[in-house]
Structures are given as structure tokens and as C-alpha cells.
Amino acid sequence: MVRRPVVKKEYSLGERVYLVEIAKGLGLTWKHFVFNVKASFRKGPHTVPTCWQYPEDRREIAPIFRGAHMLQLNDKGQELCVGCGMCARACPAKCITVKRGKPAKGEEDKYAGKTMCVSFEIDILRCIFCGLCEKSCPKNALVLGQDYELADYEPEHCIYDKDRLIANFHRARSEGLLKPPPVPIPVEAPPAKKKIAQKGDEKKGSSGKASVKGGKKSASNRKGEA
Ligand code: SF4
Ligand code: SF4
């Protein structure tokens, strides 16, 4: 067993008289107290410097934040989702279930497309909020909003059905938190088929010449080598 050397600390007179150290500690406490009182008069919702007073104080959320999902309606109040299932196929967590159907007679005006989703469910407990479902939706119907308070006591409540997803949309709209529609990326039209065929013929011709030239070159090279 290795014995540790005994180190005796030498205390100064100021340290031995405890009152000096107590005064130093009180001075530090007073300094922080004055700093906090000054900070509480600062303008803005975040007045206390040490922490944000959640839920009263909330930070601004980035527009690209991906929170709770919603199913959007158009300006006429029609459901945009056509039940194509592209979002379910793109989802890496396999947490979306969509059933497609046709609107009942007399209810066609409720839907923007000829088909609609009869049921739509997202299991939020499995979702990783990657946003691939939003990106893959051809109708901009499924969008991830800015709501991040998704905790619940019951796992069943974490499966969002169609009604809840539409309710999320109405709430986001009333709070002015809807995302702007995505800007389409310009895509150049491919060249006409005839032109491609012509180019192909030209290439064939040029490649033929090249092969002849290549043959000549190789022959002359062989002569040089000889
Ligand atoms: S955000 Fe990602 S994991 Fe969640 S439902 Fe959409 S695709 Fe699936
Ligand atoms: S949300 Fe979009 S991708 Fe998903 S089923 Fe509806 S239309 Fe298709």
C-alpha cells in the first residue's frame, strides 16, 4: 500500500480569521445580486439573465423547424390530400398509414382532388421528424408545423388521425404560423428526340473516323518502334 505524503496547508492570518473570508463571500453574492436586479429592468420578454422563464418566455422558432404534422386545406377550405400514399412510402420510420378513397356523392366539393384520404394516421412516437413526408407530398398537403409540445401521458394519444392533423392546420392558421408554399425548382426541358437521334448519328460518324486515325497512328508507332 502506497502511503500518501501528509501535506499541511499553511493558512495566512486573514484565512485564520474567518471574518475576512465571510466578507469576501458576501461581496461575491452581492455582486451577483446587483447584476440580476439590473438585468431584470432590461427590455424584452427575457428579463431574468440566468434562464428562460418557460412557458412564459419562448424563443422564436426558425421557419424551417419541423414540429407536429398537419394536413392542409386550400383557400376554399378543401382537403388537399388525395391519398396517394407517397408520404407513407417515403417515410423511413414507417409511421404513416393512408387509405385512399373516393368522395361520397354530394361531398365532392370538400376535396381538391378526385380522390381523398379516407383515413390518415401518423404515429408520432415513431416519427423522427426528418421531413421526408413533407418533401415527397405532390400536393403540399402534409406539412410539419412549429408545434413542439407533443408530450402526452397516453401512447394512444400520440397517434395523430386525420381530424387531429386538420385541427393542427386550423390552429397554425389562426396563430399565423403556416409555412409559405415551397418555391418550385426550375427544371430545363430535355432536348427533342429528333435532335438526340441526330447527335447520336454524328457521334457514330466521328467515332468511326477516330478509329481509322487511331489505326494509322498505331501503325506509324509500330514502324517507329521497329
Ligand atoms: S417526418 Fe420523417 S419519420 Fe416523421 S412521418 Fe414524416 S417521413 Fe416519417
Ligand atoms: S399527404 Fe400528400 S403524399 Fe401523403 S397521401 Fe396525401 S397527397 Fe399523398
* Predicted confidence (pLDDT) per residue in 158-191, tens digit: 999 999 999 999 999 999 999 988 888 888 888 8
The whole-angstrom separation of Cα 101 and Cα 108 is 12
The reported pLDDT for the residue numbered 212 is 40
What helix, strand, coil percent values describe the chain, rounded to 5?
40, 10, 50
Asked if residue 6 is part of any domain, the answer here is no
Residues 87 and 135 in one domain: yes
Length of the chain: 226
Nearest CA to ligand 1 atom 4: 127
Q: 166 C-alpha vs ligand 2 centroid, how far in Å? A: 13
Burial (CB < 10 A; 0-12, 13-18, 19+), residue 51, is: exposed
Asked if residue 41 is part of any domain, the answer here is yes
Asked if residue 217 is part of any domain, the answer here is no
- The answer to whether the beta carbons of residues 158 and 124 sit under 8 Å apart is yes
Asked if residue 144 is part of any domain, the answer here is yes
The reported pLDDT for the residue numbered 55 is 84
Pocket probe for ligand 2: among 87, 114, 121, 162, the residue whose CB has the most ligand atoms within 8 Å is: 87
Q: Is the CB of 96 under 6 A from ligand 1?
A: yes
Distances in Å between the alpha carbon of 160 and those of 92, 116, 172?
Answer: 18, 17, 16
Asked if residue 2 is part of any domain, the answer here is no
**What atom of ligand 2 comes closest to residue 86's alpha carbon?**
3
Identify the CA nearest to 82 among candidates 54, 120, 49: 120
Residues 43 and 125 in one domain: no
Which residues of the chain have a pLDDT value below 70?
Answer: 1, 44-51, 194-226
- Count up the domains in the chain and report the number: 2
The reported pLDDT for the residue numbered 3 is 78
Q: Residue 155: what residue type?
A: P
Q: Is the CB of 172 under 6 A from ligand 2?
A: no
Q: Is the CB of 137 under 6 A from ligand 1?
A: no
| Domain range enclosing 108 | 69-174
Residues 136 and 84 in one domain: yes
Identify the CA nearest to 79 among candidates 178, 162, 202: 162
Asked if residue 190 is part of any domain, the answer here is no
Q: Residue 217: what residue type?
A: K
